[in-house]
Amino acid sequence: MLFEPASTDASALNVVLAFPSTYSVGITSLGYQVVWATLARRNDLNVRRLFTDQGDSYHDHIDLFGLSLSWELDGPVLLDLLEKQGIPLWSHERNENDPIVFGGGPVLTANPEPLALFFDVILMGDGELLLPSFIDQLQAYRNASRLERIRALAQVPGIYIPALYSVKYTNDGELASIDPVDDTVPAKINKQNWQGKILSHSMVITPKAAWPSIHMVEVVRSCPELCRFCLASYLSLPFRTSSLNDGLIPAVEKGLAVTNRLGLLGASVTQHPQFDDLLKWLSKDQFNNVRLSMSSVRASTVTSDLARILSKRGSKSLTIAIESGSSRVRNVINKKLAEEEIFAAASYAKEGGLSKIKLYGMVGLPTEEESDIYATSNLMLQLKKSTPGLQIILGVSSFVPKAHTPFQWQGVRLEAEKHLKLLAKELRSNGIELRPESYKWSLVQAMLSRGDRRIAPVIVAARNMRESLGGWKRAYQTVQKDQISIEILGNKLPPPPPWKELVHDNWEITRLFPWNHLKGPLSMEMLANHLMDAMQNSLTCHNYK
């Protein structure tokens, strides 16, 4: 462990910080570690960790219960965790003796509405900035009633209190408005961004983690490329980098004092303005026993020096995201990547001594056609031919619309499953290793990423059958056809919309989103302009063909 929690006062609030998976997975999450360390370094909090398979020492009374979410499909685990702690599932059923339930992470920052009725408080943005303000306000009102504390928290920038917003629907079942209950509550919630020169790094290093004994260092946050589908880029703007001398080097040295495994993290690590300097520093003889790994890098930034140093430091592979082998599709999604750069990256990987290259792609992207799938398979085959001896691995997921991105208006395409099967047929018969993600699970993910508060009863209904797509669909149909709903403070939620409308349909630009009252880095108008640019690119490329 690189961090020791503070000794706590006798009057410290008892906090449980939960993660919706096992200890080995949860303790590998850098975001979870940052939240835990930020809370645990305060002497006015007594923090214990909770995972689905274990937890720290038990609190007799819980004042705060928190959950970090980074994947939509983990949301329903919250209900199991609450139930095991004896906490009412629905926020409106909690009383003065129940803890305040709070949450954060990319899923809740993007679109918290499907889970909003289970949370008292949602933190919109970066924990480094939000958590201190959240706890300070709670401490200032700790002797007030539950309602007074909740209302006081609503005044903190970036804190969203779902119960203080009224959601109304039209007679046709469309979302009509999302408004604060009175003029003391902010009409819009602004996401909060950490602007410090020092980003995060591991606070716990353990052989029990999913990546055993690794020290993770965040090199950059967000991505400047703005691929139209990418939540990691659009939601976390602006692009931020950790200071080399004040942040990265001290963080690396601290971790390497206790382990020889180092992981450099970020959506676009090699675009750090001083990345070459960091790489040269890590190539020194003093780090000869270090095993270095790196998250996905831009193909255009790959050099033989990068591959050589990774190989020298124990890495066997390089990972790049190409999204599609079709230049037309790459233009549509704003993937600024030339085919020549992909071939060069593979060549440099082999030249530097790496044995494999992992590529990430997608099917079902807006405007994609069968010809684009053949373009991807042809690219993979040419790549294999041009770099004999280099193992080519392609991981493929299906496009899922994400809030606050230009493609939030686009649904999951029905053709995606067919395209995934076509790609598998083309590649596997030619010796390319394909690692596809489930198309069917992308449908559930889309439901949760696009839904509003009417999805909450679906999540409850799916609790005992959430391990299969069929279970989720049965839960959805049950809630919809049987008109199952819930009544909150006198207002009854209507059933959810038809499955096709929510998951597959392209939405009108004028449609009111469930997250319209939650402001991301870019305005809806600007995101709509980016969507129009994408569609115009598609038309231009087709005309050119």
Chain segment 448-485, per-residue pLDDT in tens: 999 999 999 999 999 888 888 888 999 999 888 776 66
Structure tokens at 357: 């290259």
Grade residue 134 by pLDDT with cuts at 50, 70 and 90. very high
- From 526, 448, 509, select the one nearest 228 (Cα to Cα): 526
Residue with tokens 């503070």: 6
- Determine the Cα–Cα distance for residues 316 and 309; give it in Å rounded to an integer: 11
Let me know: does 287 contact 256? Beta carbons within 8 Å.
Answer: yes
Q: Given this model, what pLDDT does residue 59 score?
A: 83
Structure tokens at 91: 């926020």
- Determine the Cα–Cα distance for residues 493 and 495; give it in Å rounded to an integer: 7
Chain segment 313-352, per-residue pLDDT in tens: 999 999 999 999 999 999 999 999 999 999 999 999 999 9
Q: Given this model, what pLDDT does residue 484 score?
A: 63
Give the range among 194-198, 358-362, 382-386 with minimum mean pLDDT.
Answer: 194-198
Chain segment 400-437, per-residue pLDDT in tens: 999 999 999 999 999 999 999 999 999 988 889 999 99
Q: Given this model, what pLDDT does residue 76 score?
A: 86
- Determine the Cα–Cα distance for residues 348 and 415; give it in Å rounded to an integer: 35
Query: What is the full DSSP assignment across 501-513?
Result: HHHTPPPPTTPPP
541: exposed, middle or buried (C-beta count within 10 Å: 0-12, 13-18, 19+)? Answer: middle
Task: Using the predicted structure, report yes or no on whether residue 100 has a pLDDT greater than 90.
Answer: yes
Return mean pLDDT, the chain.
93
Grade residue 488 by pLDDT with cuts at 50, 70 and 90. low
Alpha carbons within 13 A on the beta-carbon side of 140: 13
Handedness of CA 459, 464, 467, 468 (dihedral sign): negative
- Distant-in-sequence, close-in-space partners of 514: CB < 8 Å, separation ≥ 6: 111, 113, 175, 178, 450, 451, 452, 453
Q: Given this model, what pLDDT does residue 466 score?
A: 81
Alpha helices in 23-102 (DSSP H): 23-26, 30-40, 77-84
Considering only the top CATH level, what class is 315-437+511-545? alpha beta
Structure tokens at 463: 């609790």
Question: C-alpha angle with apex 36: 34 to 37, nearest 5 degrees?
Answer: 65
- Host H or E run for residue 50: strand 45-50
Grade residue 543 by pLDDT with cuts at 50, 70 and 90. very low
The ranges of the chain annotated as CATH 3.40.50 are 13-190
Q: Given this model, what pLDDT does residue 148 score?
A: 97
- Determine the Cα–Cα distance for residues 132 and 385; give it in Å rounded to an integer: 54
> What CATH number does the domain located at 13-190 have?
3.40.50
Grade residue 124 by pLDDT with cuts at 50, 70 and 90. very high
What separation, in Å, do the N-terminal and C-terminal C-alpha atoms of the chain show?
57
- Determine the Cα–Cα distance for residues 105 and 506; give it in Å rounded to an integer: 26
Let me know: does 179 contact 169? Beta carbons within 8 Å.
Answer: no
The ranges of the chain annotated as CATH 3.30.750.200 are 315-437+511-545
Q: Given this model, what pLDDT does residue 417 score?
A: 96
Instruction: Label each residue of 309-330 as H, E or C.
Output: HHHHCCCCEEEEEEECCCHHHH
- Rounded average pLDDT over 37-53: 95
Let me know: does 99 contact 149? Beta carbons within 8 Å.
Answer: no
Task: Using the predicted structure, report yes or no on whether residue 280 has a pLDDT greater than 80.
Answer: yes
Q: Given this model, what pLDDT does residue 192 score?
A: 94
Buried b or exposed e, range 220-259, using 16+ CB within 10 angstroms: bbbbebbbbbbbbbbbbbebbbbebeebbbebbeebbeeb
